[in-house]
Chains A and B, each alone.
Chain A
Amino acid sequence: MKAAVIVFPGSNRERDVCAALKRASGREPAVVWHGDSELPAADLIVLPGGFAYGDYLRCGAMAAHSPIMREVKARAQKGAPVLGICNGFQVLTEAGMLPGALLRNKTLSFICRDVHLRVENSQTIFTCGYAAGQTIRVPTAHGEGNYTADPDTLDRLEAEGRVAFRYCSAAGALTEEDNVNGSARCIAGVFNEARTVLGLMPHPENSTDPLLGCTDGQGLFDGLVSALS
């Protein structure tokens, strides 16, 4: 699997996701600058975490209109898989590639800690490395991760199996306390209609190195490699 990682001014987790992709696939991802209008051939396009354009106007709003995003959108429309992590998720919602929006955390504070996620749908290229209902532990680091959408959209996402992950307790229970940022229905990640685009706030790429004490995020990258290689 060959991945392309898009870097915006202010992205800061591109190296982390490149390391995770390389560990899983054995291939060095292509790193593409936001100002480029040409995207190399890739099996997977990744929008990494960070603070693209300093989060000016709204998180992800400026990045969503950068030159490379036209090409990312065009590829996605043809079915190319796109993964947006944290700021990448915000960019995908601002670009209209995923429904909903990410608001300020309910606590108003930046949340930097491990969270537990429940895998809601394992029948996708992104989540096939997990079992449905499985609980994983991954770090999260964001100030604007409070997922919101109108009730009809939320109902549709749930009915269509487009909720990828939910914040939960270590045992997999959905509680207000574990829903760290106040997201609607504890949603931590969603798919597009075709399940070829995933956006999620937590950082599975930072839970892939045994040195860091937990490798629960590895399943996402291993799943992608097995689905796309």
Chain B
Amino acid sequence: MTAQVTEELLYKNQRLSMCDEPLALWISKNKTKCNFGITSSACWRGYVGTWQVIDNHLYLIELSAVSQNGDSLSLSDVFDGQEKVFAHWFNGEVRCPEGKLLNYVHGGYASTYEKDIFLTFKKGVLVSERTHVNGVGESGSPEGYGISAFTVMPISGDK
């Protein structure tokens, strides 16, 4: 599988790349609302969400997707007019890599970077944070999460 574009997380005034998909459980229970078109091999899930931690609670604040007809879909389209959604269903640890690239892996979220910030949520509430240093990148190594190559796929509604 091609390396995947991450979700985005706004946390402590930083915009982080988040290598986890907190929306997955909600989508699995609302499949008819989430008939997303796949437009790239770098995004098999068919959407990119922007999340924010507000008062220690995890909120989805933006969603970018297209339907299988090629129509743009936003958060309010998928969540019936809501502008923010509290992810009360999410349990688990999210990984947000930072710094220079140490080892590129062209699959999933497997590449490693200088530092990982791990945030743990219980029922969508932030319960702990830790940082793990993986190493020091070489000078000239790319800074921040990136993908080297992907295939763009047309969807049936593309004109």
Q: Do A and B come from one complex?
A: no
Interface residues in chain A, defined as those with a beta carbon under 8 Å from any beta carbon in chain B? none
Interface residues in chain B, defined as those with a beta carbon under 8 Å from any beta carbon in chain A? none
